[in-house]
Amino acid sequence: MTIRYPQGIWLPLVTPFRDGDLDEASLRRLVRHYAAQPIDGLILAATTGEGLTLDDEETARLVQVVAAELAGKLPICLGLSGSDTRKLGKALELTAAWPVGSYLIACPYYTRPSQEGLFRHFATLARDSDKPILIYNIPYRTGVNMGNETLLRLAALPNIVGLKDCCAEAAQSFDLLRARPSGFSVLTGEDALFYNALTHGADGGILASAHVETRLFARVHNAVRGGNHSAALAVWRDLVDLPRLLFAEPSPAPIKHWLWRAGLLHSPEVRLPMTEISAGLAARIDAEIARRTSLAA
């Protein structure tokens, strides 16, 4: 399933591990759970999915299991990253026949290319694939910020369809929303700023925190899109502390702990260099789970 104009809630799915291996039983359970939630798509093997720790065989198996379990119920986007344009081109070729409808590709990290280098990098990748591509701009991880002029040049290419925006510059994000062409999506990747981004005109979010209270995140989105900002704000006031809690230590370990406590994961296991959460944060998360469970009872 391919969506050329991504919007709404896209979930960057965690990758379950058990004793160092891909935990396929937990993965299938996760997919069944979220396929019944009000989300608009899944993103696999991205940052939250610990994609940089997966080898090619594991990534292929991850995609196969998720696609088989979904049976077309939701679109799948595959996360890719790297600083070598040629290697990424080969990754696009390798995955061309996989059951994914689009790619989320991060800006090259560490090398800090110029704006022209960023443009040529993504223009080359767009030429190498006929699937839609979302750009992932996250300068506090990559070391380089793609400017709006470059983004708008890339938005003119037919299969550059959107952006996961983590530029951390409110003015840059707002100016892009004002200037973007029709058919170019902007999805925030800053969970704690989700409501603000929607009120500025963003089309949705790629939100790790939406693993938890998924329906409330969707309610915020739907209320804003429906013009009911007071209802959206009322939900957001209760929800905003959740992403702060789930990002209190490096993601996705806090999210995996929550999902483990909820019975969706067999284990909260992460791969180095990620580590398990501290005892203090575990206690805070457990307390929040208990609070929300009691409210729902």
164 classed as catalytic: yes
Please enumerate in sequence order all residues whose Cβ is within 8 A of that of 73, keeping only pairs 6 or more positions apart, or say none: 35
Among residues 8, 53, 58, the alpha carbon closest in space to that of 197 is found at 8
Determine if residue 15 is labeled as part of a ligand binding site: no
Q: Give the whole-angstrom CA distance, residue 77 versus residue 46.
A: 9
Catalytic residue among 34, 103, 131, 136: 136
Within 8 A by CB and 6+ apart from 146, the residues are: 107, 115, 118, 135, 137, 139, 167
Query: Alpha-carbon distance 4 to 22, whole Å?
Result: 30
**Strand partners of residue 22:** 17
Q: Which pair of tokens denotes residue 231?
A: 């209802």
> Active site residue: 34, 103, 131, 164, which one?
164
Say whether 90 is catalytic: no
Element (H, E) at 78: strand 76-80
Distance CA 59, CA 95 (A): 10
Q: What is the DSSP letter of 37?
A: S
Closest CA to 277 of 251, 296, 244: 251
- Residues at the binding site for pyruvate are 48, 206
Binding-site annotation, residues: 48, 206
Question: Which residues are known catalytic residues?
Answer: 136, 164
